[in-house]
Amino acid sequence: MKSEGLKTPKPNTALVIGGGIIGLATAYSLCRRGLQVTLLDEGPVDQRASSATAGIIGGSSVIPWAHSKLWPRLPKHLLNREGPLRAAKPLPKNLMSFLMRGLQAGCTEARAASASGLANLGLRGWDSWQDLLCDLPDARDLFVQNGCLFYYESEKDAFADSSSNAIRRSFGMDLTELDAADMRTLLPSLTRPAAAGVAVNSAGHVVDPIGLQEKLQKAILGTGAKLVKQRVNNFEFVENKVVSVATDEGCYEADTFILCAGCRSSVLAAQLGHRTQMIPAWGASVTFRNSKLDLRIPLLILSDGIAVTPASGGLRISGLLQVGGAGNAKAMIAALIDHAKRLFGDFDYTDIITFAGPRPLSADSLAFLGVDPANDNLYHNYGHGHWGLTQAAISAQIIGDLVLGLDPKIDISAYRPHRN
């Protein structure tokens, strides 16, 4: 396979646009490879998708969001205030074109290709993080690998997910079927019993997603890199290269540029001629601090679109998906609190911390990852949707290989940034 990003000579400086988990992992990977890095991020940390994440790595990593059975059920889902999906005004301007592209991506053959693309990145997630953080033991200590559980309240729910579990197994995921007694043993604190479950034996999770971001940022700055808290407005070009980016406060030059700005990446990509089919899919999390609940294994309730994880500060419940709303997450946060009470009844905690952020969700569930077709010193790394934490380290490794003119270790053609 020929490299898409052959570079002669090797670049000395890199500018990374975006400081979420994708941008931080990318910046740190480039620092480790000897580049002088400038990280531009408008912040703040509490409004990032990677701050509202459940923190699970490799839990449900290969199932695309779009499928043919979703569309006839979509109106019912959106009208159900207790369900996993909701819509709020203002809606994204490109929502109709996004849904049309999603309709195509949900067809059998296209969906199988998306599942393969998700597996290609997601099932390398854990090992890639361990490699990236080999010199940061304090950050590695935030990672725990003791699996996760799929929770099925009824046998009907278990049967409905059986085809997805067959897909997961086909890509090599290690799954173990569990009955109601197994689930009671593993989840003694549940007051809402499960009829069945599945253990994802090789999954892991991060006990403090905010802490991970802070440690990565500290490590990046420790290499002599610069952190600039500004928003990038546009690119400046000379021939087939980006020479600088402009912010409200000035211009910043580099040899090579990596676009990792999450949902806002589509705005900047439009300047490059890309009609990126991606929308902000808002998610939220609630952490019940100092909870005494006995939860040792992360829990995924796929039918409700939520995850429950043991966090360093207490019990964390995350998930749901809101299209539109411009960041108003009050309804999602209230729903997550209600879910927690239904799962565990009344339990003690000192206070709660909430986060909400927009996941950059692509129409075909795949990230935009690779060299720009028209500007050979510009790279794309965004659109990871619900799987940002899982895919961040392997995506950073791929970008690092491309920047240095090396062949990535995996085929990345499915993620080409100009595919839509």
The DSSP secondary-structure symbol of 47 reads G
Q: With b meaning 16 or more CB within 10 Å and e meaning fewer, what string describes 237-246? A: eeeeebebbe
* pLDDT tens digits, one per residue of 263-311: 999 999 999 889 899 999 999 999 999 998 989 999 999 989 999 999 9
pLDDT computed for residue 48 by the predictor:
84
Q: Can you tell me which residue has the tokens 């969906």?
A: 111
Q: For residue 84, which of 385, 336, 408 has the smallest C-alpha distance? A: 336
d(CA 403, CA 406): 8
Q: Per-residue pLDDT tens for 80-106?
A: 666 788 888 899 999 999 999 999 999
Q: What is the pTM of this model?
A: 0.94
How far does Cα 132 stand from its chain's mean position?
17
Contact of 14 with 257, CB cutoff 8 Å:
yes
Distance CA 90, CA 205 (A): 33
Domains by residue range for the chain, with CATH: 13-415 (3.50.50.60)
Q: Residue 367 to residues 72, 161, 165, 416: CA-CA distances in angstroms?
A: 26, 24, 22, 8
Q: Assign residue 13 a region (left: φ > 0; alpha: ψ between -120 and 50; beta: otherwise).
A: beta
The per-residue pLDDT for 6 is: 45
